[in-house]
Structure 1
């Protein structure tokens, strides 16, 4: 039953073309399949698809950002354990996003658009930390635009074949995760390079 509803929704979004992309991006509905299928159709422009998706996600991110700004340290975790579960955000994801956002600010917002399961948590954390909304929106827009562009080109390469699209997207997701976490690892290592070098020197002295 659920699969049938999702299929019908995808068909409806595709029939609406650019408006369908915008509506799906505003809500919590995964837009990846819609982007890929629309991009495979010759009459649709991949850049316009990416632009509309980015605008939709900025509009859709506003309520979550505002929701995050309403909370304090005392009630955010209580809400996440209760009514907040429908967003798919738990304490671990929220804390992780909050800490990374506090350090990396808008770069983290940009990178979070490439990792599906941290998008909502990053937006909620941005509101909670009350970052500059216009800078946040710009970082979100750029992240969504480039992510959508990649997905759109995958759709074109796959020529609209759903199983091929899913296969390419699965490979793409793995590489994106490797790149994002690789960047974070290098960034953290560089920031703490003096401590790491000092630790390695001490370890070498002990081993001699």
Structure 2
């Protein structure tokens, strides 16, 4: 499967930044593979670092948006029937439902950092008919730091870009938890401001 995805990525390379976005709109294509490869293309001089990060972040919103739409317009029966095509199993949906009940709309952000919930978290957001712009905003906020780290690692590792996933796994918590805490603090601060008006 990985070889097939890499061949697809080589074909999409000719589409430059749009190719990165397009690859990430397919939920079965792992970002852990696409983003470091995009970083390697930066290393080779085919792309610019900021452009690759922005394209990856936008693509990282478009993919979850398809699952959001599936949840919003199809409901649970359709998700169970067609979720397998997006590599989403019923137990992933159950986990995501529980996570959504616990954290509400913030799940579109927080869920991106939780293994086993990360992919399927868009579905309960859609089923709950969460505002699509809010969903996209929180998803983008979560995807931006993850994308930036993966692309940067691919760029720094150069020809060894495939090691980025392993390296990211070792240091992910040290990098992402502070970012998540800052964003949560900012969102809570904004909510308090709105309530006090």
TM-score (norm 1): 0.70
> Does the Cα contact within 8 Å between 1:21 and 1:31 map onto a contact in 2?
no
Q: Who is 1:140 aligned against?
A: 139
> Does the Cα contact within 8 Å between 2:37 and 2:162 map onto a contact in 1?
no
Q: Who is 2:38 aligned against?
A: 38
> Does the Cα contact within 8 Å between 1:36 and 1:155 map onto a contact in 2?
yes
What is the DSSP-based 3-state SS (H/G/I as helix, E as strand, rest coil) of the residue aligned with 2:58? helix
Q: Who is 2:70 aligned against?
A: 67
Consecutive unaligned residues of structure 1, counting only runs of 5 or more, are 184-208
Structure 1 residues 4 and 93 mapped into 2: Cα distance closer, same or farther (>3 Å)? Answer: closer
Aligned residues: 175
Q: Who is 2:193 aligned against?
A: none
Measured on the aligned residues, the alpha-carbon RMSD in Å equals: 2.9
- Choose 1 or 2 for highest CA Rg: 1
Q: Which moved more, 1:87-96 or 1:112-121?
A: 112-121
Q: Distance in 2 between matches of 1:19 and 1:11?
A: 13
Q: Deviations over 1:82-123 (max 9, x none)?
A: 433222223332122122223323432113333464233110
Q: Distance in 2 between matches of 1:14 and 1:53?
A: 13
Q: Who is 1:199 aligned against?
A: none
> Does the Cα contact within 8 Å between 2:71 and 2:126 map onto a contact in 1?
yes
Consecutive unaligned residues of structure 2, counting only runs of 5 or more, are 182-197
After the TM superposition, which parts of structure 1 deviate over 6 Å for at least 4 consecutive aligned residues?
none
TM-score (norm 2): 0.73
Q: Distance in 2 between matches of 1:110 and 1:21?
A: 22
